[in-house]
Structure 1
């Protein structure tokens, strides 16, 4: 970044009190250029639309899904000590936690200029950490800026109408002048990582939906307890819960940054996830353009991935579930993976730490793949009872219209950062 053009609001945000971000967080939806056509809050903004600047946008994106250096890993697993726990799928940490370090989500966003992919899931440490454990914010933002990849021109094609957007959000969600942040999770990969996790801990599964055991699983009785299997529905419900936490905390981290910067916006779920991903069935509503399939056995379409961008760990993006297991193993133990001895880190003996995890051998992979393939064969998709790709919630960032809040609310409806945002972030005008 050019230091001469950095607005004073940037330093204000860096010095903002964390406790004020926590207790000052509020959904503030009315933006400059917005209009509520009727009802008690009928109001039309007197301001022109004002999109976020690139710097403002990068601050929000980096807060929502920024790289925070190397992941610390989990030090010990009871069943395979003294080997290092090998659950994690990513060597890098991010601004939000992920169950067992799976990190199976990525972030998309859209503004008036286009639809973008902000790729940080498998990023190495992007900036140097000081001896005090901190980063230079300008270096960090610049490193993240180059992770942005444009996918399409123009704002995400999502009509501001029901059923694509909930009725209470049609006047505000994804409107011109706003930045809409969309974390997307590879739930197929998360369930597969969960299968690895449970297999490592001696647990296998039975198909409680179809009321049957998984054939040939007894040959792995020395790895897993075939006498006390868990239900598949539990695995998929648990994985969905874990992934939703990952996506939600990502949005919440971005939401806290809005308070520090004095931006309006809110965290919400009032958009149809199938329309957002591109699985509405309406060619006029392509959303993010994810591939999806339908089947008479399913009540809803199933998105599986965006080819070349974010492909779920399931067919048709992989030959079969054994191929997907091998890909997950490569993500963990291959180049750049958390358990590859050549992957850098900040341990005093990084090579020794990373090489102390036990790789997934052939037998282990077969045990995981057998269970995963059963799901795919019997449900026609993987996972069987939840979507392969999942999205919820979202975060929207925008410039607040203070006049609206002054008109309808008593003092205290917004923070000092909001009151001074234009002065501190846009000195000398827009």
Structure 2
């Protein structure tokens, strides 16, 4: 996951088909307001091709190849329709809503109040601590696993200002999406260690997870980047230092503990948790954006979090390969929270943690995160400055004043103190971060075409179930004209 600027020229606009333009215009111009969407926002878990407590055997050939059976219950249902995957434009709109480019941030943080903690001035549709863009979006569908990463260059302070900008949504999806594997990962309901009989690592709620026809939007976060950046910010502007919880002594940074430098101890596990909470806040916004987008489009969005993300990422290959991420083998005696420690996906995402392939030690890790601000082309670089190249957020005069101000630059002592602290943590606990997994994928959303027959069978309402909004009932007519419309059947058939 690199933040190195892409200095290529602005892309040429792509030509949308009339159907593509109409679809994008529908959500920008004719969809319910935010308040309208919130009033009807629901989790609609049952999609076309899904099942619910039928009590019958079923083979999950598309994922785990297990033969499974969910016990029969009062909500027994088997979809009469086959899977109906999302279209390209549907996926593109949801991906953009989740964390797509939306222009340039305001960066309205005082220089004396830690403006330098921002790692980017490129705006996305979600907030992020330090605007570090440390969350990527993995898209899992019938054609495989894909990475959506549209980059950090911006074409305008507000990217989509009107119909002439609609093409960007599909451009970012096509140019910023990379296929990683041509099939779904081998995880599903009932994925469990061999020989177990009552273990479900993907969670009891997730019977239809990863099912054909669905698109699983999976935010994957590099918590280590936020952790290192937060450490630098804390040392420069916060005045507190990391403290070993076992000794209640400074974690390798004793020489900088004095008035005006580092003054108050902060236990390592609490600091780790703080970085994790910063990540959780961003991912929660991603998932909520997906839910709101789907509500306006008439799609089902199922927020999921009851699964083992370590298993999904690939921590237990003897159970499932998952997404194939690499994990550090840690000495159990030096792993106080017994956490799995993910190093990233080789060639795709190098997690900001040490030791790892890219960051073998504390110095390599810290200096990398520092340079994200100041390297050529970055937003605080005097050479090929990002703000000058992308025309914002500041005027030229303001930008130069910021670049020249001493508080914009991280003092050498802060860098050295951070290196010594991280070196201490690695030596003591075997990894930095030490008490949390540096890569997380715990909260996500699966999107599908809703099976109205389920809700017509079980739910209250008038002619249609109360959860059947106008945009849902008209979805196939609006978004898939000319195709078979499974919603145009007699209610309660």
TM-score by length of 1: 0.91
1:128 offset after TM fit, Å?
6.4
Q: Is the 8 A contact 2:93 2:169 kept in 1?
A: no
Mark the CA change 1:386 to 1:369 in structure 2 (over 3 Å): closer, same or farther.
same
1:109 correspondence with 2:109: no
Partner SS, residue 115 of structure 2: coil
Take 1:281 and 1:429, find their aligned partners in 2: how far apart are those partners? 41
1:102 offset after TM fit, Å?
2.9
1:99 correspondence with 2:129: yes
Structure 2 partner of 1:181: 217
Q: Cα RMSD over matched residues?
A: 2.3
Mark the CA change 1:216 to 1:236 in structure 2 (over 3 Å): closer, same or farther.
closer
1:303 correspondence with 2:339: no
TM-score by length of 2: 0.80
Take 1:423 and 1:210, find their aligned partners in 2: how far apart are those partners? 66
Mark the CA change 1:141 to 1:217 in structure 2 (over 3 Å): closer, same or farther.
farther
CA-to-aligned-CA distance 1:192-214 (integer Å, 9 cap, x gap)? 01101101212222112443322
Q: Is the 8 A contact 1:217 1:370 kept in 2?
A: no
Mark the CA change 1:77 to 1:133 in structure 2 (over 3 Å): closer, same or farther.
farther
Structure 2 partner of 1:414: 468
Equivalent of 1:332, from 373, 376, 385? Answer: 373
Mark the CA change 1:301 to 1:131 in structure 2 (over 3 Å): closer, same or farther.
closer
Q: Is the 8 A contact 2:103 2:124 kept in 1?
A: yes
Q: Is the 8 A contact 1:12 1:260 kept in 2?
A: no
Take 1:352 and 1:312, find their aligned partners in 2: how far apart are those partners? 32
Take 1:241 and 1:144, find their aligned partners in 2: how far apart are those partners? 29
Structure 2 partner of 1:355: 403
Equivalent of 1:345, from 366, 391, 396? Answer: 391
1:388 offset after TM fit, Å?
1.4
Partner SS, residue 159 of structure 1: coil
Mark the CA change 1:384 to 1:116 in structure 2 (over 3 Å): closer, same or farther.
same
Structure 2 partner of 1:401: 451
1:110 offset after TM fit, Å?
0.7
Q: Is the 8 A contact 2:121 2:379 kept in 1?
A: yes
1:75 offset after TM fit, Å?
2.7
1:208 correspondence with 2:245: yes
Partner SS, residue 86 of structure 1: helix
Take 1:143 and 1:102, find their aligned partners in 2: how far apart are those partners? 19
Task: After TM superposition, list the pairs within 5 Å mapping 1:246-395 onto structure 2.
Answer: 246-282=282-318, 285-295=320-330, 296-297=332-333, 298=335, 299-314=338-353, 315-316=355-356, 317-341=358-382, 342-343=385-386, 344-346=390-392, 347-349=394-396, 351-352=399-400, 355-356=403-404, 358-395=408-445
1:168 offset after TM fit, Å?
1.9
Q: How many residues align?
A: 422
Task: After TM superposition, list the pairs within 5 Å mapping 1:31-110 onto structure 2.
Answer: 31-36=47-52, 37=54, 38-78=72-112, 85-110=115-140
- Segments of 5+ residues of structure 1 without an aligned counterpart are none
- Segments of 5+ residues of structure 2 without an aligned counterpart are 1-14, 55-71, 192-199, 485-493
Q: Is the 8 A contact 2:425 2:432 kept in 1?
A: yes
Mark the CA change 1:356 to 1:140 in structure 2 (over 3 Å): closer, same or farther.
farther
Q: Is the 8 A contact 1:129 1:135 kept in 2?
A: no
CA-to-aligned-CA distance 1:63-119 (integer Å, 9 cap, x gap)? 11101112222431546xxxx720111221111101232332111111010111111
